[in-house]
């Protein structure tokens, strides 16, 4: 009896790429260049544990494409990560940046360590030593390669990255732009932490605003009232649930490694997080039904399924049992190609990862620009804009003879601060990119789904960059 083997994430990404590439007329050599990972740096270094033990740690940094510089991509801490996964994630970053018109090439880094079992002191040693290696190998810098948080890392680790980089590059004016996802106090930008989750909901809102697409699937227009199942309650899953709920959706289930909980009346993400912190599990949450097998929650009756945890969660095996009408990909690579084929046949609307979870890199781009300019967004023009709006209100009052109330003035005069500028820029970016993908699908019916259309857009944009460089005739 033969045992079916599951493709790696790298193999799945290449399947998606090849499917879209087959719809283009680009030369085979150009497509091969876009598909290939340009540079992979694999290395190891020793780190001393607090108890004196010395451990040799494996690490990688992959730069998939240099058609735009710097390259951009997160640093993942995981005991299970390997080189193939790093290359796949770097490729996804190339396509993701192209889809949302962020001028970076794709990259990704990883350290083979379990952050959940390590002390903060040990993780700091690992992070700083990793940055030392990247600096020595010229794999980090504001105009070279700009890391960011990924699974297992966050603002704390990015603060260690920028501190180490600046210590090794004293006096470099743009040093703060060597990494994004930093704490605001260390050169970060407001809205970065929740950007991926917020971007997911902007993507969902844009998809749900298309009356033709919603009515074809028996759904109402808009996010309001949609029943949502979220896999994962980390940074991405938590914020996706929060912003869905704020737009009127009901998060009816959370699925995490230890199991899942379901409540058709809706769950509050803060209460679930607090229960899990206090008890060590989401199971037993008051008023909710506990589901011992986490994967079963993916098959619950809902309107929107948000896989926001790991890759290869929706497969050819469970896809026929998925009842969601919309799959909103919060994780990288949660859907396998055979599952995609099932969803295409069923008419499930899959909003693909290379678009849907691009909110993080969009706001990282804003942070990078802020660091290069050394000016907080809104600092120069905010009061000027507010004064202009007050003058406009005064002119309207004089023309109509009807004064505005104090409450009206507060409502109408709201010059944006940094967070407001960031969120509006993110919303505009996600809306524009979705319309481009949908238009590509309309013009290229052979693409058949949003994922192929998104890959097609990405390939065409990267190809155009290479052609403009004169590398290919």
* Domain extent listing, the chain: 38-186, 218-346
Active site amino acids: 108
Torsion, Cα of 407, 247, 97, 42 (10° steps): 120
Mean pLDDT of 97-112: 96
Per-residue pLDDT at 418: 84
Beta bridge partners of 108: 62
Does CATH number 3.30.479.30 belong to domain 38-186?
A: no
Mean pLDDT of all residues belonging to the chain: 91
Predicted confidence band at 472 (pLDDT cuts at 50, 70, 90)?
Answer: low
Residue 5 has pLDDT above 70, yes or no: no
The burial class, CB within 10 Å (0-12 / 13-18 / 19+), for 414 is exposed
Nearest residue to 90 via CA among 354, 434, 429: 354
**Domains 38-186 and 218-346 in one fold:** yes
Residue 244 has pLDDT above 50, yes or no: yes
Residue 78: half-sphere exposure toward Cβ, Cα within 13 Å: 16
Query: Which residues, in sequence order, are CB contacts of 53 under 8 Å at separation 6+?
Result: none
How confident is the model over 31-42, as pLDDT tens digits?
Answer: 999 999 999 999
How confident is the model over 265-323, as pLDDT tens digits?
Answer: 999 999 999 999 999 999 999 999 999 999 999 999 999 999 999 889 999 999 999 99
The C-alpha atoms of residue 299 and residue 318 are separated, in whole angstroms, by 8
Write down the pTM of the prediction.
0.89
Return the CATH number of the domain spanning residue range 218-346: 3.40.50.720
Residue 445 has pLDDT above 70, yes or no: yes
């Amino acid at each position: 009896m033969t045992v079916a083997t599951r493709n790696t994430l790298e193999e799945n990404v290449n399947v998606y790429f090849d499917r879209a590439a087959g719809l283009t007329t680009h030369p085979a050599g150009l497509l091969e260049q876009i598909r290939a990972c340009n540079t992979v740096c694999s290395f190891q270094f020793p780190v001393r544990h607090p108890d004196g033990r010395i451990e040799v740690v494996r690490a990688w940094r992959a730069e998939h494409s240099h058609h735009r510089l710097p390259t951009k991509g997160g640093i993942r801490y995981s005991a299970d990560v390997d080189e193939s996964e790093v290359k796949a994630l770097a490729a996804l970053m190339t396509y993701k940046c192209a889809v949302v018109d962020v001028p970076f090439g794709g990259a990704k880094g990883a350290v083979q360590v379990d952050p959940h079992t390590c002390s903060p002191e040990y993780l700091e040693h690992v992070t700083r030593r990793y940055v030392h290696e990247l600096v020595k190998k010229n794999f980090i810098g504001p105009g070279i390669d700009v890391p960011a948080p990924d699974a297992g890392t966050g603002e704390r680790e990015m603060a260690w990255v920028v501190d180490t980089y600046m210590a090794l590059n004293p006096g470099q004016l743009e040093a703060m732009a060597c990494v994004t996802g930093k704490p605001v106090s260390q050169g970060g930008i407001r809205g970065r932490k929740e950007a991926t989750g917020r971007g997911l909901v902007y993507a969902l809102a844009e998809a749900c605003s298309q009356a033709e697409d919603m009515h074809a699937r028996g759904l109402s227009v808009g996010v309001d009232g949609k029943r949502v199942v979220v896999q994962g309650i980390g940074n991405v899953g938590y914020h996706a649930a929060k912003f869905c709920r704020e737009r009127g959706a009901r998060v009816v289930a959370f699925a995490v490694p230890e199991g899942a909980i379901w409540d058709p009346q809706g769950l509050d993400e803060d209460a679930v997080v607090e229960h899990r912190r206090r008890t060590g599990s989401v199971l037993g949450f008051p008023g909710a039904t506990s589901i011992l097998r986490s994967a079963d929650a993916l098959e619950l009756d809902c309107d929107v399924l948000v896989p926001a945890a790991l890759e290869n969660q929706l497969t050819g095996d469970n896809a026929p049992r998925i009842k969601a009408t919309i799959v909103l990909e919060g994780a990288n690579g949660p859907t396998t190609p055979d599952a995609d084929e099932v969803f295409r046949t069923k008419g499930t609307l899959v909003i693909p990862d290379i678009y849907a979870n691009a909110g993080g890199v969009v706001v990282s781009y804003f942070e990078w620009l802020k660091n290069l300019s050394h000016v907080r967004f809104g600092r120069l023009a905010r009061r000027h804009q507010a004064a202009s709006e007050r003058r406009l209100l005064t002119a309207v009052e004089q023309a109509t003879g009807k004064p505005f109330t104090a409450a009206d003035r507060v409502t109408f005069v709201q010059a944006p601060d940094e967070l407001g500028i960031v969120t509006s820029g993110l919303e505009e970016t996600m809306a524009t990119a979705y319309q481009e993908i949908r238009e590509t699908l309309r013009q290229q019916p052979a693409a058949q789904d949003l994922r192929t259309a998104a890959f097609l857009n990405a390939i065409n944009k990267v190809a155009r960059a290479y052609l403009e460089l004169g590398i290919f005739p």
